[in-house]
Amino acid sequence: MGLTAIVFPGQGSQTPDMRQTVERQRPDLIGLITEIVGEDPFARADEGTQFAQPAIMCASLAGWDALERPRGDMLAGHSLGEFGALVAAGSMGESDALELVALRGRLMQEAGESAGDGGMLALLGSGAADHAQALADAHGLSVANDNSPQQIVLSGAREALPAAAEEAEGLRLRAMTLPVTGAFHSPMMASAAPAFAAALDRVEISEPAVPVISAVTAAPFDDVRERLVEALTSPVRWRETLLAMHELGAERFVDVGPGRVLTGLAKRTLSGVELVNA
């Protein structure tokens, strides 16, 4: 029998009913995250990353709770989902993780607003993974999210996105500019790193009880603090992370939600595995 991997989603997985899920499963998180953020982030989750990230984190923890908090044989998280995975693995306290996610969202929002000219472009369709790096190099962009063979996101200067989109469409890919406030997972997020690193230094972090696969390295976390800071400016190597977990023996992937984003990416990346949603 194969192993079970628990996966925690990142930004873009928010759903209209995720606050109700939290109220049902973990009502205590509503007050806690409202206190941390300064207001209810669920009401403004579509307005910016400073609200979306803490709201999704709470919904993911509620989804994990609904499944009776499984640790599985290994865990991973997509971008901000890494914090949920580290909580589930016993590496980080829940309150500390929520504080860090709220800070991370705010710092990334501020970095994007400060730069002022960053954006992201999704490449969709057969061959997206094959052409992404060449497109990024040709237009001075970075590969920000390697999500599946058919879904890659580029990140960088907003003025470079139209030409990259035009070239992508010439390769029979769909290109879609994302409604975000910055060039996330690119060097344009560098200004967020010092304050986030300082916050991580103040948090107690233990060795995970089960392997947590870093989406920066597609390998088990070594230095948790270093990898979490690095993730601000590095690509999310989610396709490779899924393949690495499968190589380690994972045949059952449990997406704690909200939404089914990671389930969809696993379906496009892996074959012959069982996919479960919270």
Report which of 182, 165, 5 is spatially closest to residue 85, judged by C-alpha positions. 5
Contacts of 113 (CB under 8 A, 6+ apart): 181, 182
Residue by residue, DSSP assigns 40-61 as: -GGGGTTT-HHHHHHHHHHHHH
Q: How far apart are CA 226 and CA 212, in angstroms?
A: 14
Q: How far apart are CA 95 and CA 87, in angstroms?
A: 9
- The answer to whether residue 185 is catalytic is yes
Contacts of 121 (CB under 8 A, 6+ apart): 141, 153, 154, 155, 161, 164, 165, 168, 175, 176, 177, 178
Please identify which of the residues 13, 60, 79, 234 carries the catalytic annotation. Answer: 79
Please identify which of the residues 91, 148, 155, 185 carries the catalytic annotation. Answer: 185
- Work out the number of other CB atoms within 10 angstroms of the CB of residue 125: 17
Structure letter (DSSP) for residue 209: S
3-class state of residue 7 by DSSP = strand
- The answer to whether residue 246 is catalytic is no
Question: Active-site positions?
Answer: 79, 185
